[in-house]
Amino acid sequence: MSKLKIAIQKSGRLYEESLQLLKDCGIFVNNGKDQLKVSVDNFPMEIMYLRNSDIPQYLEDGVVDVAIVGENLLIEKGKNIKTIQKLGFSKCRVSLAVPKEVETDELSYFQGKKIATSYPNTLKNFLENQGIVSDIHVISGSVEIAPNIGLADGICDIVSSGSTLFKNGLRETVTLLKSESVLAQTPRLSSEKEAVLEKLVFRIKAVLKAKNSKYILMNVPNEKIQKVSEVLPVLKSPTVIPLAEEGWSSIHSVIDEERFWEVIDELKENGAQDILIIPIDKMVI
Ligand SMILES: Nc1ncnc2c1ncn2[C@@H]1O[C@H](COP(=O)(O)OP(=O)(O)OP(=O)(O)O)[C@@H](O)[C@H]1O
Ligand SMILES: O=P(O)(O)OC[C@H]1O[C@H](OP(=O)(O)OP(=O)(O)O)[C@H](O)[C@@H]1O
Ligand SMILES: [Mg+2]
């Protein structure tokens, strides 16, 4: 069977969670120190450790078949690359920021100004669409220092917690785009590799779905089963199991993690007791 070549970041923000995701998918990687190309024993896959910033080009050229990469980078490089699946980690945004003393949050502040960035294409396209003409100064890192050393009037860079901006006396004003890690695919893939990719995506979806869901169990008086079931957002219908104590049942179901806090009070009001929430390892629907 053809091996699917997957690129993941060699080191940096995406590395740990990319490997963890593969592990959760049952794909175990034995890294030798400084080994940049690694085979996997239990899945037809070969892993290449690359720089995040080089990955879009490798995908476009077909040197790798798929990759885990920051969505913002695919946008910046503007390549013909298909995003197959959002992966939910390394969430960030690309934003404009100004020295905190600047009084306005308006984009018009940047008219005729100098902006330092590592994302020149993203910025150029955004400013063009908004009818703003600025002087874009490209630097490859430590962008937040630029206004402090008189290099620029503002910056355009990645923001997550906002702490780097804060520590450097800057304030986020306009968000250009939101990003997270994604699984992306080269434009051409053989049907054999497509089949391997399908298996991988199936596993990833099961892992992601499970991460966002919880198994919920509670005890309910029999006459309240109907009411409680109506409150529960369920997959099909809840599992109802009689308890040893007459007149009581245990209700089991699966609930979105985010919805849990919304419905918990309603469940209690409708007679649910002894509510347990349990993590789910994998979920195949
Ligand atoms: N502070 C952050 N919080 C969350 N996600 C981030 C943050 N900074 C970057 N990212 C995301 O993680 C990706 C990788 O960032 P990282 O800084 O590790 O690598 P890089 O500097 O882009 O690349 P390289 O591997 O080429 O050195 C980015 O493309 C972005 O999508
Ligand atoms: O809003 P925050 O949570 O502070 O994160 C934002 C910072 O994180 C990224 O840098 P990184 O730490 O990846 O360093 P790098 O420039 O060397 O890639 C980004 O370039 C910002 O500087
Ligand atoms: Mg970085």
Ligand 2 binding pocket mutation candidate from 159, 168, 176 (most atoms within 8 A of CB): 159
The answer to whether residue 246 scores a pLDDT higher than 80 is yes
Task: Supply the mean pLDDT for the chain.
Answer: 94
- DSSP conformation class of 133: -
The answer to whether residue 62 scores a pLDDT higher than 90 is yes
| Total residue length of the chain | 285
* Angstrom distance (rounded) from CA 92 to CA 119: 14
Q: How far apart are the first and last CA of the chain?
A: 27
Coil vs helix vs strand at 74: helix
| Assembly ipTM | 0.96
What percent of the chain is predicted at pLDDT more than 90? Answer: 82
164 lines ligand 1 (CB under 6 A): no
Strand duo 45-50 + 4-9: pairing: parallel
pLDDT the model gives residue 262 = 83
pTM of the full predicted structure? 0.89
Ligand number with the minimum distance to the CA of 90: 1
Structure confidence at residue 30 as a pLDDT band (50, 70, 90):
confident
Alpha-carbon distances, residue 176 vs 88, 129, 264 (angstroms): 19, 11, 37
Taking the CA of residue 160 as reference, the ligand 2 atom at the shortest distance is 1
* Angstrom distance (rounded) from CA 284 to CA 156: 41
* Angstrom distance (rounded) from CA 194 to CA 209: 22
**250 bridge partner residues:** 219, 241
CA-nearest of 71, 74, 79, 90 to 18 is 90
| pLDDT (mean) for 164-193 | 97
Indicate left, alpha or beta for 90 from its phi (over 0: left) and psi (-120 to 50: alpha).
Answer: left
CA-nearest of 89, 82, 67 to 180 is 89
Which residue minimizes the CA distance to atom 10 of ligand 2? 158
Ligand 2 binding pocket mutation candidate from 72, 158, 165, 178 (most atoms within 8 A of CB): 158
Taking the CA of residue 118 as reference, the ligand 2 atom at the shortest distance is 20
Ligand number with the minimum distance to the CA of 9: 1
Structure confidence at residue 232 as a pLDDT band (50, 70, 90):
confident
Query: Does residue 29 contact residue 38 with C-beta atoms inside 8 Å?
Result: yes
Q: For residue 186, report the distance from its CA to the centre of ligand 3, in Å.
A: 24
Q: For residue 62, report the distance from its CA to the centre of ligand 1, in Å.
A: 23
* Angstrom distance (rounded) from CA 203 to CA 282: 9
